[in-house]
A and B are shown apart, each in its own frame.
Chain A
Amino acid sequence: MSDFFAATGLTMKFGGLIAVNDFNISLSEGEIVGLIGPNGAGKTTVFNMLAGYYVPSEGSIRFRSQILNGRKANEITKLGIARTFQNIRLFSDLSVVENVTIAYHCRIRSTFLGAVFRLPLYRREEKEMYEGAMNLLNEVGLSHVTGERSNSLPYGMQRRLEIARALATGPRILLLDEPAAGMNPRETMELIDLIRRLRDAHRLTVFLIEHDMKFVMKICERIKVLDYGTTIAEGTPEVIQNDPRVIEAYLGEA
């Protein structure tokens, strides 16, 4: 088991429903790992537990020798685990660049009084936040729309903006919930390059959920398959593609 990141025995119960049962994942630095499964399998629930949105009914989460159980979502982000959302959640009325500068806020050292009085430290940090945001937007290919309102962008761009926003928090692990949803095939292929590039440039470890099998098989080095909350298979894309239980889970759904 990796001592970088490991979750063991994660179980999430909603009343009588066991949405996720005894889920285990360990990540090594720099990996790109996929989580797939039919609708309602519990994938987003796993992310919500890892990111501090749900408190697991059972199990533990460790990240670089720290226990994450019971930590709030914002603390987990500050520790270095950032996420995106399946249903895009941008700050809709704010501009593209503001959406990203907001995400640097959790790391500034200025107090609110320093900010109100525009003390030198704050002015420097504000400049850094702005420049950092512009750089990230450039990296994800949004430098031409920085002044637009975020909800005026097409889907594909909103997804990339959410990735840029997550990156601004300075994560070591990036959790992407269906990053290719709503993208056309060309955008999806570009997204593969983008995620790989970002992984290398920012020394990230990526854990992603996706329904687009072509995308998953191409980008992931390792895949876990959930069905009704239970892990039914795990392995390289080749192994997963030929696993009879996986095929059954997907065919059974159709």
Chain B
Amino acid sequence: MDPHHKRNQLLSLAGMCAIVLFLLYAQTYGTSYDVRILNNCALFIILAVSYNLINGVTGQFSLEPNAFVAIGAYTSALLTLTPMEKEISFIIEPIIWPLSVIHIPFIFSLIAEGVVTAIFGFIMGFPVFRVRGDYLAIVTLGFGEVVRVVANNAQTVTNGPLGLKGLAPYTNLWWSWGFAIFTVFMISRLVKSSYGRALKAVKYDESAAEAVGINTFWHKMLAFTCSAFFEGVGGGLLAHLITTISPTLFTFFLTFNLLIMIVMGGLGSITGSIIAAVFVTWGSEVLRFVEEPMHLGFIDIPPVPGMRMVIFSLILIFLMIFARNGIMGTREFTWNGVIDWIQKYVKPAGKGT
């Protein structure tokens, strides 16, 4: 259908090479701090893009990603820790049997946590999608809380509040960016397909979607389960990046962070989610200074932990009032769009000189 298909594929390939070169550069010359920020960017791209699938594309305002990320993180940690390490970690009560002996390579654990989280998402979808709108948000919020409380109390599985420590730092730039690119690729393929159109139909008008024969329940389940899969793998990557996980990591704040990203990017736009994920991740590093003690001439400001969250919340409020469509609205990056834009703004200028 698109006459520029070949050209666009080449451009995508070139873009991919550029990313690989950039990562190589970052890995060779970047400080460990740079690398950490880049890893965080990739992880938040994964989480935001998959959250956007259910919240933005399908329009089902839900608040569960912290639950999915937690499930993914715990699953992967329990699978990659060696039996020995687990025995040492679980000091209060020993870990239950099959988990105590299972030990699989990182790559298989990624697949496993995706599948496990997807299964959780699928089961959870049945009660969740019996309700709509505000109720949907509340039910999913509750689910996130339940998962956190379970993580805190299921001593023999999660090691309770102590969490799991000493995970191997498997997640490097290649894993994080590789999977981020994979996530973006898969989800944009899905969104651009007939199934994606059906998801948008559910978002715009559920009654009309039913009228054209779309089973709205199963399509919401599809989006939710896919979202869970990618959130789960993202959680596993996160666990092996920070190497220590505990229930406090997976509070509502994680969801809130992701919510800011997808709203800022434009609900429904994958491109927007990516831009906002990078912007917020990088921005919260830059803004680190606001939480430190400051000396402004005569005034000494004490450290204010959580100040960055306040700033991001203010940005979110500002966006909701003045720019509800976010950075991208529902638009997406396309090579055709870029080239049209270049031809419109760059060529005339070039001719003039």
List the interface of chain A (C-beta within 8 A of B): 51-53, 72-75, 77-78, 82-83, 85, 89-94, 98, 101-108, 110, 112, 115-118, 122, 125-126, 129-130, 165-166, 168-169
Known A53-B207, A91-B201, A130-B1; judge A102-B193 contact (CB<8 A): no
Interface of A is mostly: helix
Whether the pair A105, B207 counts as a contact (CB closer than 8 A) is no
Interfacial chain B residues near A104, Cβ < 8 Å: 194
Task: Report Cα–Cα, A162/B26, bound state, in Å.
Answer: 53
Distance in angstroms from A134 CB to nearest chain B CB is: 11
Q: Is B197 an interface residue (CB 8 A)?
A: yes
Task: Report Cα–Cα, A189/B216, bound state, in Å.
Answer: 36
Q: List 29 A-B contacts (CB under 8 A).
A: A53-B210, A77-B210, A82-B212, A85-B207, A89-B211, A90-B205, A93-B200, A94-B201, A98-B197, A101-B194, A102-B198, A102-B200, A102-B201, A102-B209, A102-B214, A103-B213, A105-B194, A106-B212, A107-B213, A108-B194, A112-B190, A112-B222, A115-B194, A115-B195, A116-B193, A116-B195, A126-B193, A166-B211, A169-B212
Task: Report Cα–Cα, A162/B198, bound state, in Å.
Answer: 16
Whether the pair A112, B216 counts as a contact (CB closer than 8 A) is no
Interfacial chain B residues near A83, Cβ < 8 Å: 211
Interface of B is mostly: helix
Whether the pair A85, B194 counts as a contact (CB closer than 8 A) is no
Contact of A85 among B186, B195, B204, B208 (CB under 8 A): B208
| Nearest chain A residue, comparing its CB with the CB of B223 | A112
Interfacial chain B residues near A165, Cβ < 8 Å: 212
Whether the pair A73, B222 counts as a contact (CB closer than 8 A) is no
Interfacial chain A residues near B213, Cβ < 8 Å: 74, 77-78, 103, 105-107, 169
Known A115-B193, A116-B193, A126-B194; judge A105-B330 contact (CB<8 A): no
Q: Is B9 an interface residue (CB 8 A)?
A: no
Whether the pair B197, A101 counts as a contact (CB closer than 8 A) is yes
Known A89-B205, A91-B201; judge A77-B194 contact (CB<8 A): no
Whether the pair A74, B204 counts as a contact (CB closer than 8 A) is no
Task: Report Cα–Cα, A90/B208, bound state, in Å.
Answer: 7
Whether the pair B212, A102 counts as a contact (CB closer than 8 A) is yes
List the interface of chain B (C-beta within 8 A of A): 1, 186, 189-190, 193-195, 197-198, 200-201, 204-205, 207-216, 222, 330
Whether the pair B195, A112 counts as a contact (CB closer than 8 A) is yes
Whether the pair B189, A102 counts as a contact (CB closer than 8 A) is no
Task: Report Cα–Cα, A94/B216, bound state, in Å.
Answer: 18
Whether the pair A118, B212 counts as a contact (CB closer than 8 A) is no
Contact of A94 among B189, B200, B210, B211 (CB under 8 A): B200
Q: Kindly name the residue among B186, B200, B209 whose own CB sees the greatest number of chain A CB atoms within 10 A.
A: B209
| Nearest chain B residue, comparing its CB with the CB of A73 | B210
Interfacial chain A residues near B200, Cβ < 8 Å: 91, 93-94, 102
Interfacial chain A residues near B208, Cβ < 8 Å: 85, 89-91
Task: Report Cα–Cα, A101/B196, bound state, in Å.
Answer: 12
Whether the pair B201, A77 counts as a contact (CB closer than 8 A) is no
Task: Report Cα–Cα, A130/B192, bound state, in Å.
Answer: 13
Q: Kindly name the residue among A105, A106, A118 whose own CB sees the greatest number of chain B CB atoms within 10 A.
A: A105
Task: Report Cα–Cα, A79/B209, bound state, in Å.
Answer: 15
Q: Kindly name the residue among A93, A117, A118, A168 whose own CB sees the greatest number of chain B CB atoms within 10 A.
A: A93
Interfacial chain A residues near B193, Cβ < 8 Å: 112, 115-116, 118, 122, 126
Interfacial chain A residues near B189, Cβ < 8 Å: 115-118
Interfacial chain B residues near A77, Cβ < 8 Å: 210-213
Interfacial chain A residues near B1, Cβ < 8 Å: 130
Interfacial chain B residues near A93, Cβ < 8 Å: 200, 204, 330
